[in-house]
Amino acid sequence: MKGKIIFLVDMQSFYASVEKVCDNSLKDKPVIVAGDPERRSGIVLAACPIAKKYGITTAETLGSAKLKCPHVEVVRPHMQRYIDVSIVISRIMEQFTDLVEPFSIDEQFMDVTGSQKLFGNYYEIAKAVQKWILNDTGIYSRIGIGPNKILAKMACDNFAKKNKDGIFKLDQSNMDQLWKLPVGKMFGVGSKMNRHLQGMGIYSIGGLASFPKELLKKKWGINGEVLWQTANGIDYSPVTVKTHNQQKAIGHHMTLPRDYMDINDIKVVLLELCTEVARRCRAKGYMGVTVSCGIRGADFNFPTGFHRQITLPIPTNYDMDIFNAAFKLFLEFWDRQSIRSLGVTMSNLQPANNYQIDLFDNYLNREQLNVALDTIWNKYGRTAIYRASSLTSAGQANERARKIGGHYK
């Protein structure tokens, strides 16, 4: 990996920045992008720098944000708009290198190792990328630079975002700056892991880097090895355009607009989720053999729920196969208390065009039905045809069709 120059390009307050570009009246105002509190999605998704000065943070409730800044401008998310801008940004990065790997909707890796003879040194390329993105989209970007993806990511999160020019390079020559930081600042360490590490006497990233690797592996297995490597800036994964080509699982999760307690209401939503998972599997050319079902209870003070899976005898991408398996899991593990969210996932995927079928399975009829449904949905949209149960008060198909990633387009 010696000699590699990897960028992690992050868009500052991406959702909020896009909204400010689209509505100039918001330019000098504190702005947050948040969901719909009436549908229990009133969480801050993004806060502009002005709003952050009032102490508003991502993922806090809308009510809490308003208490900190009563005059804050609240904008509902427009997910299709953000996706479109993200694609434009990807195209800009591809003008500098063909090795661009999306990490999230507002973060992307770039390998510019081979681009320096064309566009100058790493700093000149970073400034050019920043300028082009700002000119074309109005979005300010920060860029972390490193010899691998993990150091580029931590350079961006911990240093570039705080630098005046929004650019910072982290490598073995200045790892001491990273090692001084609290261990909770390290990529891959959440609040729970942070508590575990502090309980072991590890308070800084440097402390983790110098901790005996074998002890970490003994406690957490391969994850212990990954923690130690991350702290030492070791990462062998290349920047690749094929990262998202092979999916390991396809799933769909929904936070319900109200607490669901009646089994018939829950069945309606569960069937809608299974139908969507099956449709996505077919769209991506997959079948799966493992169905997972998970729920979360409605009581925040006494959290309940489960996440269980079952393996099917033959691979499938048919919604009723998935539903029957998910509903079986649900009946077995549900504690009969009200729920606020549920999800279904299909894993152990394999190509749909080459698999062993069951001689006693009526596969052809299901295949013809799937083709007919997909043809209608692709031509006329997701609300062109659906089960009558979705027209009941429990159904969410119409509402969900208006959203991307749980938020309105």
CATH (domain of 52): 3.30.70.270
Output the domain CATH number for residue 209: 1.10.150.20
Please identify, among 170, 188, 219, the residue that sits at the C-terminal boundary of a domain: 170
The annotation places the binding site at 10, 106
Residue 135 located in a structural domain? yes
Residue 239 located in a structural domain? no
What contacts 20, CB < 8 A, 6 or more positions away? 26, 27, 31, 48, 138
Query: How do residues 186-228 score in pLDDT, each as one tens digit?
Result: 999 988 899 999 999 999 999 999 999 999 999 999 999 999 9
Residue 241 located in a structural domain? no
Same structural domain, 146 and 181 = no
Query: How do residues 367-409 score in pLDDT, each as one tens digit?
Result: 778 788 888 888 887 777 778 787 787 777 766 655 555 555 5
Q: How buried is 313 (Cβ within 10 angstroms: 0-12 exposed, 13-18 middle, 19+ buried)?
A: exposed
Same structural domain, 12 and 158 = yes
Same structural domain, 131 and 263 = no
Same structural domain, 166 and 180 = no
Strands (E), 218-358: 249-260, 286-297, 305-316, 339-351
Same structural domain, 163 and 186 = no
Q: How far apart are CA 18 and CA 34, in angstroms?
A: 14
Same structural domain, 153 and 25 = yes
Average pLDDT of the segment spanning 267-290: 91
Output the domain CATH number for residue 385: 3.30.1490.100
Q: Which domain does 260 fall in, by range?
A: 249-408
Which pLDDT score, from 0 to 100, does residue 402 have?
Answer: 58
Please identify, among 170, 192, 212, the residue that sits at the C-terminal boundary of a domain: 170
Residue 296 located in a structural domain? yes
Residue 242 located in a structural domain? no
The annotation places the binding site for Mg(2+) at 10, 106
| DSSP β-bridge partners for residue 314 | none
Which pLDDT score, from 0 to 100, does residue 118 have?
Answer: 93
Does residue 37 have a pLDDT over 70? Answer: no
Among 29-33, 248-252, 281-285, 364-368, the least confident range: 364-368
Residue of 19, 73, 107, 272 marked catalytic: 107
Query: How do residues 60-110 score in pLDDT, each as one tens digit?
Result: 888 889 999 999 999 988 888 898 999 999 999 999 999 999 998 999 999
Residue 271 located in a structural domain? yes
Categorize the per-residue pLDDT at 1 as very low, low, confident or very high, splitting at 50, 70 and 90: very low
Same structural domain, 161 and 266 = no
107 is catalytic: yes
Residue 269 located in a structural domain? yes
Which pLDDT score, from 0 to 100, does residue 160 have?
Answer: 95
Same structural domain, 96 and 188 = no
Residue 136 located in a structural domain? yes
- Among 199-203, 338-342, 350-354, the range of highest mean pLDDT: 199-203
pTM here? 0.71
Does residue 57 have a pLDDT over 50? Answer: yes
User: Is residue 298 within 8 Å of residue 333, measured between CB atoms?
Assistant: no
Same structural domain, 13 and 147 = yes
Please identify, among 126, 151, 170, the residue that sits at the C-terminal boundary of a domain: 170
Residue percentage of the chain with pLDDT more than 70: 90
Count of the separate structural domains present in the chain: 3
Burial state string for 314-340 with b = 16 or more CB within 10 A and e = fewer than 16 = ebbbbbebbbebbbebbeeebeeebbb
Same structural domain, 255 and 380 = yes
Which pLDDT score, from 0 to 100, does residue 79 have?
Answer: 84
Which pLDDT score, from 0 to 100, does residue 76 have?
Answer: 87
Same structural domain, 71 and 166 = yes
Same structural domain, 313 and 281 = yes
